[in-house]
Amino acid sequence: MSEQSAKLSFEGKTFDLPVRVGTENERVLDITALRSSSGLISLDEGYGNTGSCQSRITYIDGERGVLRYRGYPIEELVEHSTFTETAYLLIFGELPTESQLSEFRGRLTEHQFLHENMRHHFEGFPPNAPPMAILSAMINTAGCFQPDLVQPSDDEHFLETVARLMSKVRTIAAASYKTSIGQAIMYPRFDLGYGSNLLHMMFSRPNRSWEVDAEIARALDQIFILHADHEQNCSTSTVRMVASSQANLYASVAAGVCALWGPLHGGANAAVIDMLSQIHERGGRVDSFIEKVKNKEEGVRLMGFGHRVYKNFDPRAKFIKQSCKAVLDKLGVHDPLLDIAMKMEDVALNDPYFVERKLYPNVDFYSGIIMRAIGIPVNMFTVMFAIGRIPGWIANWREVRMNPQGRIYRPRQIYAGPTSRAYIPIERRGGS
Ligand code: ACO
């Protein structure tokens, strides 16, 4: 990073603040020494202007719709790579050689089973427990079954833990689904790839094997690639925050799952389907829904639209829209929700409300329609997102833990509550 500086004048004094430049020439005001030199702190609620870290993992240019993992454009990865290979790239920094990839695949297969005792845990959840809650709880539970919790600097131990976590997450996700519908939990198979095995564990039954269609498995693999990382989003920042206290990988990732759950983040893919279904049930009146959004009635938003960083288009959404049409064609599905979604996109992209605010379809707008066509239930959509995001969370966890200058993440605040006051004994507090 080369250095320039900016000047801040306050109360007759001038402070030099270094301007750092990233490898893609983005310029950052470094305020590390702001408080110690000037007594001031910065305020940036929602962190829209705050770089929370330096990272070598993922690059986004929201104005130009660019997304790259470790320098590789998302468009190339989604076309040529697989989720397993992309995960390796994100976590270890380079594309694997053939032998590295085959070893990694072998480890994923080796670790796909859950400890038999863990299977009993699923019985403790009530019927209809949200799968995201089960996923988070069971990731921490899986951590209990690995007593030598990961040392990030030990390469062999780290690789082994990565394989365990990535592989077991898929088994946990499928088991949480089976539990929620009261069916037997299926064992994974040794002969299937990452996504195919997940579909098998979700849809096979002890007396009936689910035939995995290669094109559908590939579409799911591509969804995972597109979700694999997205720099400092809410859940990844959560993982980094937890990691900064030197919490173990399982605990940090379990926290990331909880952050992803919310409808403004990963939960949006399910919220989109709810929204489209409601519009469909009410006769498909897109215009009146858009009016409601624009009038901000009851805080209603066009789910699957808008992004904190992308202000032109979301490159993931572009690909997912194409894939959505291809998957529906392949399965011979006509989904009226797709017609409504496309109409909504068309109306919104030509409406000044959305144009002025730079609101475009994000990754969640069409992904739910693909998953619905495959037969994945809505309450599992965000779980699928979480499975895809695991490599990004792991890569970010390790980056935090391997940073020799790393400190615990601990923001400050502007206190806006009452100033100092004396304690009032209960008998003198009044009220009825
Ligand atoms: N529908 C209607 N209006 C919107 C939407 C939307 N989806 N998104 C933003 N706006 C409006 C806001 O009301 C605000 O308008 P105002 O200037 O009149 O007050 C303006 O656009 C800016 O919105 P903010 O909330 O400040 O934008 P922010 O960057 O904080 O939020 C977010 C980004 C959360 C993604 C937002 O666009 C949103 O809520 N979208 C819907 C939920 C969604 O799809 N989330 C998934 C995001 S992608 C992901 O996490 C994988």
Tens-digit pLDDT profile for residues 166-192: 999 999 999 999 988 889 999 999 999
Asked whether the predicted pLDDT for residue 10 surpasses 80, the reply is yes
Whose CA is closest to atom 18 on ligand 1?
Answer: 357
Q: Which residue has the tokens 């910065």?
A: 42
Residue 98, pLDDT score: 98
Whose CA is closest to atom 17 on ligand 1?
Answer: 357
Average pLDDT over residues 289-303: 92
In angstroms, the CA 383 to CA 402 distance is 28
Average pLDDT over residues 15-42: 95
Average pLDDT over residues 390-397: 98
Residue 307 CA, ligand 1 centroid: distance in Å: 6
Pocket test for ligand 1, best of 45, 50, 308 (most atoms within 8 A of CB): 308
Tens-digit pLDDT profile for residues 107-120: 999 999 999 889 88
Average pLDDT over residues 293-300: 91
Query: Which atom of ligand 1 sits closest to the CA of residue 48?
Result: 29
Query: Which atom of ligand 1 sits closest to the CA of residue 305?
Result: 7
Tens-digit pLDDT profile for residues 211-257: 889 999 999 999 999 999 999 999 999 999 999 999 999 999 999 99
Query: Which atom of ligand 1 sits closest to the CA of residue 301?
Result: 1
Contacts of 180 (CB under 8 A, 6+ apart): 127, 128, 129, 131, 134, 379
3-state secondary structure of 72: strand
Q: What residues are in contact with ligand 1 under a 6 Å CB criterion?
A: 46, 264-266, 268, 293, 301-308, 357, 359, 362-364
3-state secondary structure of 58: strand
Query: Which atom of ligand 1 sits closest to the CA of residue 362?
Result: 48
In angstroms, the CA 59 to CA 24 distance is 8
Average pLDDT over residues 46-74: 96
How is the beta sheet containing 13-21 ordered, strand by strand?
A: 3-10, 13-21, 27-29
Active site residue 346: no
In angstroms, the CA 249 to CA 252 distance is 5
Asked whether the predicted pLDDT for residue 268 surpasses 70, the reply is yes
Residue 361 CA, ligand 1 centroid: distance in Å: 11
Active site residue 314: no
Residue 46, pLDDT score: 96
221, 229, 314, 364: which is the annotated catalytic residue?
Answer: 364
Q: Is 378 exposed, middle or buried (0-12, 13-18, 19+ CB in 10 A)?
A: middle
Residue 357 CA, ligand 1 centroid: distance in Å: 9
Asked whether the predicted pLDDT for residue 66 surpasses 60, the reply is yes
Residue 59 CA, ligand 1 centroid: distance in Å: 21
In angstroms, the CA 166 to CA 181 distance is 24
Asked whether the predicted pLDDT for residue 198 surpasses 80, the reply is yes
DSSP string, 249-305: HHHHHHHHHHHHHSTTTTTHHHHHHHHHHHHHHTT--HHHHHHHHHTTGGG---TTB
Q: How confident is the model at residue 127 (pLDDT cuts 50, 70, 90)?
A: confident
Pocket test for ligand 1, best of 45, 345, 362, 393 (most atoms within 8 A of CB): 362
Asked whether the predicted pLDDT for residue 1 surpasses 60, the reply is no
Whose CA is closest to atom 31 on ligand 1?
Answer: 308
Average pLDDT over residues 150-158: 82
Residue 149, pLDDT score: 66
Per the CB < 8 A criterion, the answer to whether 38 and 10 are in contact is yes
| Percent of the residues in the chain that have a pLDDT greater than 70, as a whole number | 99
Residue 110, pLDDT score: 93
Residue 432, pLDDT score: 65
200, 227, 307, 314: which is the annotated catalytic residue?
Answer: 307
Per the CB < 8 A criterion, the answer to whether 407 and 244 are in contact is yes
Taking all residues of the chain, what is their mean pLDDT, rounded to a whole number? 93
Whose CA is closest to atom 47 on ligand 1?
Answer: 265
| Percent of the residues in the chain that have a pLDDT greater than 90, as a whole number | 89
Residue 136 CA, ligand 1 centroid: distance in Å: 26
Whose CA is closest to atom 32 on ligand 1?
Answer: 307
Residue 119 CA, ligand 1 centroid: distance in Å: 39
Average pLDDT over residues 65-87: 97
Residue 22, pLDDT score: 94
